[in-house]
Amino acid sequence: MKTVCLYFQVHQPWRLKTYRFFHIGKDHNYLDDLTNRAIMQKIARECYLPMNALLLKLIKENKGAFRVSFSLTGTVVEQFKAYAPEVLDSFRALVETGCVELLAETYSHSLAALSSKEDFKEQVKKHTAMLKAEFGVKPKAFRNTELIYSDEIGEAVGELGFKTMLAEGAKHILGWKSPDFVYAGAADQSLRLLLRNYKLSDDIAFRFSNQGWDEYPLTADKYAAWLSESEGEVINLFMDYETFGEHQKASTGIFDFVKNLPAAILKRGDLKFATVSETAAEHQPVAVLHCPHVMSWADEERDITAWLGNDLQNEAFGKLYAMKDKVRSLKSKDFEYVWNFMQTSDHFYYMATKWLSDGDVHSYFNPYGSSYEAFINYMNVLSDFQIEVEKALAAKKSSRSKK
């Protein structure tokens, strides 16, 4: 009996407004509220609400046999609360079925794991607290931003008490081994690793509507047959939730595909669904996975060059995290709020200078005309934020001296 582990990432960044040099020192509202509202409500209509309703129906119809896992970033939950509270209610309804597991990750969908262990753990604890407050759950499994993983990051995740972590089934790490088994972390061998089968995942996420694909059209029965033919014990299908209705529009037939998928899989007799933690508990690790260098699920290289691959990105990243101690010392909710959304990985992704097929993907999701434009806009906002932090620190120091 092979296990099908279906996991969806739900994330939207807080998008920055066009922020010019002459705004610095004068305008401290950094977000594009109209765009953030419009995009959230559009994706809620096209993806979140119809897909959540469909999954709830499938869970009820299959009486517990259909099971899925999600992670929802802190920034997307903030936007649900601000612009689409009915979406948050629909996710709560899914969790209440007992067939849906919520995973922990970084609160802001940040690159904190690449800054320091302290920054990383702070972000994860903030996210875990949010899941408890909004959904009443304590997560047992972890998924890092963009599936960023290394032995060192796995060790930090184990120290936080998680038993299972998701990672990419990258060929340069696996070599001849298959992603379709459970592995153990190298630094912490009690940590179970579930690796994404990127071919089968991307067949849905990227190739589903491609009429030039030699397997087009993809039907539920055809896909279930591919899963059954897998030689491993687990098939980890990890993808962005916005695949359904947003990246793959309803007109492509993606919702009909999902509607028919559980029955097509379950009727075969050799496949079953399980959540992330259930999958890790049911299968023993077949080997230790050594990953001395950081990997992710992005681009052909499966590395971190999508976010920290050029001088612009590294300068912005360095300047941001150089501020962390000063921001923390203020102990201000307002400053913490800005600090959190400025860490979101999307800001660095917009600054990427990758070309060919990878560059096409980057430009598709990029609201800026160029990587340099994205960098300048971000750095202008960060410069104003830095000035305000210094002012607040000076005022705090002055207040103490008067006492």
Torsion angle defined by CA atoms of residues 46, 49, 50 and 54, in that order, rounded to the nearest 10 degrees? 150
**Euclidean distance between CA atoms 321 and 332, whole angstroms:** 17
DSSP class of 110: B
3-class DSSP state for residue 277?
A: helix
- Fill in the amino acid letter for 378: Y
Helix, strand, coil tally for the chain in percent (to 5): 55, 15, 35
Q: Are strands 192-196 and 182-185 parallel, antiparallel or unpaired?
A: antiparallel
**Euclidean distance between CA atoms 204 and 194, whole angstroms:** 19
| Token pair belonging to 291 | 């990953």
Please list the residues that pair with 183 across neighbouring strands: 193
**Of 372, 366, 312, 379, nearest in space to 15 by CA:** 366
DSSP class of 267: T
Longest alpha-carbon distance in the chain: 76
Do residues 266 and 272 make contact, with C-beta atoms less than 8 angstroms apart? yes
3-class DSSP state for residue 314?
A: helix
| Locus of tokens 């469909």 | 54
Cα 307 to the center of its chain, rounded Å: 14
Tell me whether residue 300 is one of the annotated catalytic residues. Answer: no
Could you check whether the bond before residue 367 is cis, i.e. omega within 30 degrees of 0? no
Phi-psi region of 248 (alpha: psi -120 to 50; beta: other; left: phi over 0): beta
End-to-end CA gap in the chain: 70
Catalytic residue, candidates 78, 146, 242, 278: 146
| Token pair belonging to 319 | 């300047």
DSSP class of 209: T
Which residues participate in catalysis according to the annotation? 146
